[in-house]
Structure 1
């Protein structure tokens, strides 16, 4: 665990990079899910067996949900680290 401000600043930088990657992963994952849903619809409309396609849609949905949860955790960690790295001085009256 980082103990020094410089360590926390580096940790914050790494988390911010992870957040960017997470945003990209969520966007691409959403596109993959929509593409698979379109394929599933086409298979259904064409009278094909859709069991595997349906399982894949479910798996993609579940993965995307977990990625979204992880994204929130990264955001929360960044918010915490920002308070440590850039503390707000108390207001003096």
Structure 2
């Protein structure tokens, strides 16, 4: 079933909102990663065991990688929907 221009436009708007959220989440995730890396340095400087803290750094990096992949999928969907909205001929009067 073909989607109407209004439905495609709504899907595009929804995906654009998701893209904005993904960008925000990724930036916040990067900040959490930097914070954790700083904690590792502080713990190490104080002579603490840092294995668990380093494990969290690795998990945060893996999570960011997945978030970035998901963001790419959203971006591709936005591009596709933009093309669909642009290609949809206007309805006759």
Name the TM-score, length of structure 1 as normaliser: 0.89
Please say if 1:86 is aligned against 2:83: no
CA distance in 1, matches of 2:58, 2:47: 20
Q: Which residue of 1 aligns with 2:28?
A: 28
Q: In the alignment, which residue of structure 1 is the partner of 2:9?
A: 9
CA displacement, residues 30-70 of structure 1 (integer Å, 9 cap, x when unaligned): 00000000000111121101111011101100000000000
CA RMSD of aligned residues (A): 1.8
Unaligned stretches of 5+ in structure 1?
Answer: none
How many pairs align? 89
Shift in Å, 1:4: 1.7
Check the 8 A contact 2:5/2:88 in 1, yes or no: no
Hey, what does 1:38 align to over in structure 2?
A: 38
Q: Alignment partner of 1:47: what SS?
A: coil
Structure 2: how far apart are the matches of 1:58 and 1:37?
A: 10
| Residue of structure 1 equivalent to 2:61 | 61
Structure 2: state its 5+ residue gaps. Answer: none
In structure 1, distance between residues paired with 2:36 and 2:57: 6
Give 1:87 deviation, angstroms: 2.0
